[in-house]
Amino acid sequence: MISDAKNLPESEGEAPAEPIAHAEMAQRELRPPIAASAAARFEQRFGRAPRWIVAAPGRVNIIGEHIDYNDGFVLPMAIERYTVIAAGANDEIRMTNDELQPNSSFDIGHSSLATVFSTATNDEVCIALDSPKRHAVPGHWSNYVAGALAGCIERGMRPGGFQAVIDSNVPVGGGLSSSAALEVASATLVEAMTGRQLEPAEKALLCQKAEHEFAGVPCGIMDQFASVMSRADHLMLLDCRSRHIEHIPLLDPAITVLIVNTNVKHELSGGEYAERRGQCESAAHKLGVASLRDARTPQLQARRQHLEPVEFQRARHAISEIGRTVAAAAALKAGNWPEVGKLMYASHDSLKNDYEVSCEELDLLVDLAREIGADGGVIGSRMTGGGFGGCTVSLVETAKVDSVVERLTGPYREKTGIEPGVLKSRPARGAHTIKD
């Protein structure tokens, strides 16, 4: 319990994150923690301190890309970037407003209404808690909130009417799962409000369903599991079939996880993700297996003529990437950094050539990282997330990270004319309640 939201301590995993723009790095200390900023915005808008504050992180995937929906292994971690929701019950309005009498008609209409304000877009929506609906504007941020609320309500969790402010420092559209962070923060808020904890896997699945049904994105389970279950200073090896999790320590201060945002997003047709999923499913079907998790390279080679060339390529990526992810987890545990680096580069090549989800900007950053090489301090680098823009993730020697950042961002800026974003992060803590 924290009584004064303005004086929130920087709790574990909630430290101010590295700013996104390289030029802003020096300003880091000046930024307020995002939780305090959410609390202040709530107070400003709704005229009282929030009763609940919850946070859920974005994630970066170290390796195992486009593998969750193939039932394989993925290795993400939460980043020190959070979506925070500060909220208060509608019935507090009556208690704090002298002009309103108890049981006034004001309360009745608001008991089942959520009024939610986003600091990012500066707009407010009202969600009917009896039956949360999709927003009329496709892709609207409130769909992630409404979807998570609907999932909780379906499970018998009944929050009373509330007001909330959403504040976030997870970059949007950068492939760092800002949408999962918003869904998971919303479900965490309902947990705080109702006092009922969901089982973590159930919570993540409820949020994934919100993404499918309210946002229309047929995503896998990685992002929501990472946002719910990540642990500070650990990578999360997730078996997407059994949903078993192994938390692998990443404690070595000599290693830094560096995320560089291309700041481009190529929305080719919007259907690329679903198309890849479909190609993997039809490849699995033609190989006679339930999913590509069950296929092996010799089997794929033997049945090559039964597959469309594109299905063959997609399957080759998935099968090899599952192997790389398991190998990378073992190499990480053994502290075998050169091997981890080799696997990351191989992952990128496979995503670029076989899975065809990279783009020129991502390839440029990975090529630059390769040129800098181990001598310059780069252990390994690859695109991360769904692709077609977004970020690369690199493992870098901490002592050389500033020089690596210069050597990546300078040529990138020069060749593309785009200012890249830079973010360093320790593996962070999953969703949690800050004030309840």
Residues known to be catalytic: 223
The interface region with ligand GLA, picked from 217-225, 238-246, 307-315, 337-345 by CB under 6 A, is 217-225
Q: Choose, by CB under 6 A, the member of 80, 223, 354, 361 that binds ligand GLA.
A: 223
The size of the interface with ligand GLA (CB under 6 A), counted in residues, is 11
Kindly tell me which of 222 and 257 has the beta carbon lying closer to ligand GLA: 222
The count of other CB atoms within 10 Å of the CB of residue 39 is 27
For residue 15, give the DSSP letter.
Answer: S
CA 243 to chain centre: 18
Residue 76 interacting with ligand GLA (CB under 6 A): no
Residue 354 interacting with ligand GLA (CB under 6 A): no
Q: Under a CB-based contact definition with an 8 Å cutoff, are residues 231 and 71 in contact?
A: no
Q: Choose, by CB under 6 A, the member of 72, 88, 147, 220 that binds ligand GLA.
A: 220
Task: Say which residue the tokens 């808020």 belong to.
Answer: 189
Q: Which of 190, 234, 198 is nearest to 332 (CA)?
A: 234
Residue 66 interacting with ligand GLA (CB under 6 A): yes
The interface region with ligand GLA, picked from 13-21, 66-74, 226-234, 235-243 by CB under 6 A, is 66-74
Cβ partners under 8 Å of residue 339, min gap 6: 327, 328, 331
Binding mask 20-59 for ligand GLA (x = CB under 6 A): ----------------------------------------
Helices (H), 31-132: 34-46, 91-96, 105-110
Q: Under a CB-based contact definition with an 8 Å cutoff, are residues 336 and 360 in contact?
A: no
Minimum gap (Å) between residue 220 Cβ and ligand GLA: 3
For residue 428, give the DSSP letter.
Answer: B
Kindly tell me which of 188 and 227 has the beta carbon lying closer to ligand GLA: 227
Q: Choose, by CB under 6 A, the member of 19, 385, 421, 427 that binds ligand GLA.
A: 385
Minimum gap (Å) between residue 432 Cβ and ligand GLA: 22
Helix (H) or strand (E) holding 302: helix 297-302
CA 190 – CA 201 distance, rounded (Å): 16
Kindly tell me which of 56 and 165 has the beta carbon lying closer to ligand GLA: 56
Amino acid at site 53: I
The interface region with ligand GLA, picked from 108-116, 146-154, 191-199, 219-227 by CB under 6 A, is 219-227
Kindly tell me which of 157 and 204 has the beta carbon lying closer to ligand GLA: 204
Q: Which of 152, 219, 169, 131 is nearest to 428 (CA)?
A: 169
Q: At what angle do helices 222-229 and 200-214 cross, to 10 degrees?
A: 140
Q: Which two tokens stand for residue 334?
A: 């053994």
Q: Choose, by CB under 6 A, the member of 19, 41, 42, 65 that binds ligand GLA.
A: 65
The interface region with ligand GLA, picked from 182-190, 215-223, 322-330, 371-379 by CB under 6 A, is 215-223
Minimum gap (Å) between residue 318 Cβ and ligand GLA: 11
Minimum gap (Å) between residue 398 Cβ and ligand GLA: 27
Q: Under a CB-based contact definition with an 8 Å cutoff, are residues 149 and 50 in contact?
A: no
Kindly tell me which of 61 and 394 has the beta carbon lying closer to ligand GLA: 61
Q: Under a CB-based contact definition with an 8 Å cutoff, are residues 175 and 126 in contact?
A: no
Kindly tell me which of 66 and 435 has the beta carbon lying closer to ligand GLA: 66
Task: Say which residue the tokens 């049981």 belong to.
Answer: 103
Helix (H) or strand (E) holding 134: none
Kindly tell me which of 142 and 208 has the beta carbon lying closer to ligand GLA: 208
Q: Choose, by CB under 6 A, the member of 219, 245, 258, 422 that binds ligand GLA.
A: 219
**Positions in the binding site for ligand GLA (CB under 6 A):** 61, 65-66, 68-69, 219-220, 222-223, 385-386
